[in-house]
Amino acid sequence: SNKKRVVILGAGYGGVIAAQGLGKLAKKLNLDITLVNKHNYHQMVTRLHEPAGGFAEGDEVRIPLKRLVNDNVKLIKDWVEAIDPVNKQVTLKEQVVAYDYLVIGLGSDPEYFCIPGLQEHSYTLRSLNAARLIKTQIEGSLAKYKVESQSEEGLLNIVVGGAGFTGIELLGELAEWLPVVAPKYDVNVKDIRLICVEAAPTVMPGFDEELSIKAADILRNKGVELKIGTPVKEVTQDYVMIGDEKIPTKLMIWTGGVRGNSVLEDSGFTTQRGRANINEFLQSTNFEDVFIIGDSSIYYDENGRPLPPTAQIAMQQGEHLVHNIERLLTGQEMTPFVFINRGIIASIGPKEAVGIVFGKRVSGLLAVYLKRLVHYRYLFIFGGIPLVIQGFLGQFIPQV
């Protein structure tokens, strides 16, 4: 047929919005749309600290893709191994798919900065299963601590490397959960050390100073040891080197930053820290039939500063991409992407949050409620009122 084949890689915040929007235009534009994702569900990466800290099981933070896109979108559950932008095809583990237009929304990978032992001996918060692994490791250590008479050194030391937004949200969650879970294993919570290591002189470097001081105070009051201005230098399976200090631990969680998904670099795209260069229309600067959105690409704002890798930006880019593909295929000029910054809120456990919303500082209960509102707004965009109601009930009934 003369249908244009559009292949979307990744069902993250950008990919889902793109698949939904293009799905609605499939008939009008005569499109054959395929969405490829490693799971048959979308995971809310922005909420992974919750299952890591035991306050969510999993089904609260994932939504089956069938529930999100219409029947015009063919779903393939597979792993993207390589992209061949010259021959316009993508190699998956199980098959090869050809495209006329490609949309890449494959997100990011952890950035390890070549720190010795870090990749091999740390945990990350990059997927639901990774989050659940952290929770299981903590519970395992608590159980072990009571059973083994010669307990391993540092068994109850939990180290979080990096105090950006991801680190802060994880610490907040763990600090609330540990006093709940420790007694279940007959462990005195005072025997647990929750340590945060940050290389910069403050937590949340680059963020509003007043709010980052507030976040640090909240965490300290919850018993978190903050080691600020000292980089993680080396990690082994028994300890972490923080500056010149050696901290024994079996659980080092790395939240020290991200880089673009390695598939892009490996497939011949020009990248910066793994994020592919794109033009103002969201097209790859190397191949104009490839659009790249979210963390997988790097976009410079009107002041020449790169936009950060956030869900908010990925969603806006997904929406803009649909608009641009529609214009492209109907012979109109595409329009440049403009980011509308609605703000940012970090939760610090279930009961605290700090943020900037439409340019104003928020904290305390107001911030907690605004954060919830952001979540319900996201559910509304993704699935209308029915998804909001399911989100409120806390489950999305995945067909895994």
Cα separation, 363 vs 341, whole angstroms: 18
Per CB under 6 A, contacts with ligand NAD among 334-353 are: 344-346
Structure tokens at 215: 């976040």
Under the binding rule (CB under 6 A), the answer on residue 124 touching ligand NAD is no
Nearest residue (CB) to ligand NAD, 248 versus 257:
257
Q: Least distance in Å: CB of 19 to ligand NAD?
A: 22
Out of 53, 107, 167, 274, which residue is the one contacting ligand NAD (CB under 6 A)? 167
123 by DSSP, 3-state: which? strand
Out of 68, 199, 240, 276, which residue is the one contacting ligand NAD (CB under 6 A)? 199
Q: Of the listed 94, 120, 148, 169, which one is catalytic? A: 169
Apex 156 CA angle, 153 and 157, nearest 5 = 85
Q: Least distance in Å: CB of 264 to ligand NAD?
A: 17
Under the binding rule (CB under 6 A), the answer on residue 50 touching ligand NAD is no
Q: Which of 319, 389, 81, 355 is nearest to 208 (CA)?
A: 355
Out of 15, 161, 172, 260, which residue is the one contacting ligand NAD (CB under 6 A)? 161
Under the binding rule (CB under 6 A), the answer on residue 117 touching ligand NAD is no
Nearest residue (CB) to ligand NAD, 100 versus 208:
208
Q: What is the number of other CB atoms lying within 10 angstroms of the CB of residue 237?
A: 10
Q: Which of 201, 119, 186 is nearest to 156 (CA)?
A: 186
Under the binding rule (CB under 6 A), the answer on residue 202 touching ligand NAD is no
Measured at CB, which residue is nearest to ligand NAD? 164
Question: Which residue intervals of the chain are DSSP H helices?
Answer: 13-29, 49-52, 128-147, 165-181, 209-221, 262-266, 311-329, 364-393
Structure tokens at 80: 């993207």
β-pairing verdict for 101-104 and 290-292 = parallel
To the nearest 10°, report the CA torsion of 352, 140, 189, 213: -30
CB within 8 Å of 207: residues ≥ 6 apart? 165, 344
Under the binding rule (CB under 6 A), the answer on residue 112 touching ligand NAD is no
Under the binding rule (CB under 6 A), the answer on residue 13 touching ligand NAD is no
Under the binding rule (CB under 6 A), the answer on residue 165 touching ligand NAD is yes
Under the binding rule (CB under 6 A), the answer on residue 247 touching ligand NAD is no
Out of 223, 248, 257, 268, which residue is the one contacting ligand NAD (CB under 6 A)? 257
CB within 8 Å of 54: residues ≥ 6 apart? 135, 177, 180, 181
Out of 258, 264, 298, 325, which residue is the one contacting ligand NAD (CB under 6 A)? 258
284 by DSSP, 3-state: which? strand
Longest dimension (CA), the chain: 74
User: Is residue 265 flagged as an active site residue?
Assistant: no
Q: What is the number of other CB atoms lying within 10 angstroms of the CB of residue 306?
A: 12
Out of 11, 16, 31, 197, which residue is the one contacting ligand NAD (CB under 6 A)? 197
Site size toward ligand NAD (CB under 6 A) is 28
Q: Least distance in Å: CB of 172 to ligand NAD?
A: 11
Catalytically active residues are 169
Q: Which residues of this protein are in contact with ligand NAD, per CB under 6 A? A: 46, 113, 115, 161-167, 169, 197-200, 205, 231-232, 255-258, 308-310, 344-346
